Amino acid sequence: MPDSTPSMSDRLFLHRSLEATIRIGLLLTIIFWCFKIVEPFIIPIIWGIIIAIAAYPLYSRLRTALGDRHKLAATGFTFAFLIIMIVPTVMLTETLIEGLKMVADKIKDGSLSIPPPPEGLDKLMLIGEPLAKFWLLASENIHSALVQLTPALKVIGSWLLSAATGAGMAILHFIVAIIVAGILLANSSGSHKIARAITQKLADKKGADFADLTEATVRSVANGILGVALIQSILAGLGFMVFGVPAAGLWALLCLLLSIAQIGIAPIVVPIIIYLFYTADTFTAMAFLAWNIPISLIDNILKPILLGRGVKTPMAVIFIGAIGGLLSAGVIGLFIGAVVLALGYELFLLWLNTDSPTE
């Protein structure tokens, strides 16, 4: 009859398996707790890393100008970026409040005048007739038109309240991200070494190349997509302010969002041009039109120049990664999508160019 008593080797194996299971379980528990603790800060930290990478050339020049004083340059960078972010936010908020107050006052005292609908509007397919009727009602009796819009206005008001809450959280995240970026830049040499060490652990000899690719891709997307969108929205916003467009700050913000989404500023600019042709003199409307035509087309010139600058990966790969990331993960996906697709493309080329081992 065979002996059923476990041998010494079996007991040793069971002991080591149990010990390894406990250690792995404790390690996974600690990792999970660490993740839950830092979870509220993950997005600001990622944004801080992105801002630090994108702004490093500017920071480097500032540091050199200040006599290679790392902390002073990082402090100046942080305060400058906070001012650049907070001041336009305050101005936009004031513009929105003033615009809403002006519209509310005009509706209350009955001085809000809406021009009659243009001729031929009722002939548009599907929406022409109801749109013309409602426009005519609004031009004759704005209060009756608003009564008809009450259900839609409640939905829009709820959406605006939710959007304002989200915008407030986004601003708070960016403030934290700017502070994180300043800390990373103040310790740029240490941050660089840590990044290289991590990539070399993950990819051995190719780690340094992948770290350089990530850095170059982030800067390329920052310049080619966010930079161009910022230029377009600022120029469009100046036009709105100079030509007296109501709620200019709001339209400039929408231009920025649509430019980042690669839709362009035309959906905002075209209705405002039509509005000025109806409410302003012909010279003002034509000048506004002439101002916005080159602004609407400037991205077609700047984007191909800036998007692939400093990156050996094809611009199409970076662009597809940025837009795909934007659609799946929001604005931060612009960078994550571009970096992941660029790294995937380089890994694919590395695999493709690797010779198969001979038998």
Question: For every one of its 359 residues, what pLDDT tens digit does the chain have, with 9 covering 90 and above?
Answer: 455 555 777 778 888 888 889 999 999 999 999 999 988 888 888 888 888 888 888 888 888 888 888 888 888 888 888 887 777 777 767 766 776 677 677 767 666 667 777 676 667 666 667 777 777 777 777 777 777 777 776 777 777 677 667 667 777 888 888 888 888 888 888 888 888 888 888 777 777 788 888 888 888 888 888 888 888 888 898 898 888 887 777 788 788 888 887 788 888 898 888 888 877 788 888 999 999 999 988 888 888 777 767 777 788 888 888 888 888 877 788 888 888 888 888 888 887 876 555 44
CA 120 to chain centre: 40
Each residue of 20-62: pLDDT tens digit?
899 999 999 999 999 999 888 888 888 888 888 888 888 888 8
Q: Residue 283: count other Cβ atoms within 10 Å of its Cβ.
A: 8
pLDDT number for residue 28: 94
> pTM for the complete prediction?
0.70
Q: What is the pLDDT of residues 108-146, one digit of tens each?
A: 766 666 777 767 666 766 666 777 777 777 777 777 777
pLDDT of res. 197:
84
Nearest-angstrom CA–CA distance, 354 and 356: 6
Amino acid at 207: G
In the prediction, which pLDDT does 29 show? Answer: 95
Distance CA 168, CA 89 (A): 10
Q: Angle at CA 281, nearest 5°, toward 277 and 284?
A: 80
Q: Given this model, what pLDDT does residue 1 score? A: 46
Which CA distances in Å does 64 have to 38, 51, 58, 69, 70?
34, 19, 10, 8, 9
* CA angle, residues 176, 177, 183, in degrees to nearest 5: 95
How far is 339 from 49, CA to CA, in rounded Å?
13
Place of tokens 């780690």: 207
Helices 42-65, 70-109: inter-axial angle, 10-degree rounding: 120
HSE on the CB side for 290, CA within 13 Å?
6
